[in-house]
A and B are shown apart, each in its own frame.
Chain A
């Protein structure tokens, strides 16, 4: 029963992943459409990170996480190395939580 569900989820997810790759090969698209496909990935990634930065289970994620991501945003904008951006964003959030910020 559970394996059936897992296999269905795995198969469906794989087909979703493969479908985009193969569809893109099958059709020749004009440059204008190609630009939209490219911007579409940007739209999805930004939407995803905004939701991850600010929300949890449909509500506000709390100030500690949001502030940590904001620290990361400023560091990334200042072209601080990627590893430091990630570590310092996490550390800021962890530190704020230790101080009792929700």
Chain B
């Protein structure tokens, strides 16, 4: 572990903290919403520790606020989080080599963390970036949740600061280096078109999964041939 953190690039640390700060702001709005919805603080904080998946936590709070069924909240949340399985398939070599590392690292498999690590390849630097970004996001998410619960209605709407634009912009910046290959660009474009077309009609989570149909645009060639 010590050798892992010795390989951390200074600029990677800075970028991870910047991303985590934005996550903290969203965590604050999650905490404030949970407080307003009458979600017990222990539940709101517990979710930020053991679920650690923003969109599904917001969904649970919304369902509780609306007096909906907990089963619907769980199923909706799991549908939102189903994309983590294919993330794991792609990230296994980056997260850790052995068991304990994989068991711990699995919990940090978060959209932004996956994108953050992938922007740094698949070697030691990517692994360090994965853990630093994951731990930073998890801590700031928890910290934001607690602050939001305490401050309640005093937390301003994060859209005032444009935080809702910060996340897609960050993901885009992180994904962009991976779009160098023509096949990746075709897959990305198709995935975006399919997901956007499906969004008005399907429950949240499903359109992102359908985006994987973008793989049909990959073509049969190996990446090396595409580069040539």
Stretch at the interface among B1-9, B80-88, B135-143, B144-152: B80-88
Instruction: Tell me whether B215 and A39 are in contact (CB under 8 A).
Output: yes
How far, in whole Å, are A15 and B127 apart by their CA atoms in the complex? 21
**B95 is an interface residue with CB less than 8 A from chain A:** yes
B40 and A68 contact, CB distance less than 8 A = no
Residues of chain A having any CB pair with chain B under 8 Å: 1-10, 12-14, 16-25, 31-32, 35-56, 58-59, 61, 64-65, 68-69, 71-73, 75-77, 82-83, 85-87, 89-95, 97
Contact of B91 among A16, A20, A46 (CB under 8 A): A20
B179 / chain A contacts, CB cutoff of 8 Å: 42
Residues of B within 8 A of A16 (CB): 78, 81-82, 84-85, 88
Q: Contact: B19 with A46, CB < 8 Å?
A: no
A9 and B73 contacting across the interface, CB-CB below 8 Å = yes
Taking the nearest CB of chain A, how far is it from the CB of B70, in angstroms?
Answer: 4
Query: Is B171 on the interface with A (CB-CB < 8 A)?
Result: yes
For residue B59, which residue of chain A has the nearest CB? A9
Q: Is B184 engaged at the interface, CB distance under 8 Å to the other chain?
A: yes
| Chain B stretch 171-215: residues in CB contact (< 8 A) with chain A | 171-176, 178-179, 183-184, 187-192, 194-196, 199-200, 207-212, 214-215
State whether A59 touches B200 (Cβ < 8 A): yes
Residues of chain B within 8 A (CB-CB) of A41 are 86-87, 89-91, 114, 118
- Nearest B-chain residue to A19, judged by Cβ: B85
Shortest Cβ distance from residue B194 to the other chain A in the assembled complex, whole angstroms? 7
Contacting residue for B196 out of A8, A13, A51, CB 8 A: A51
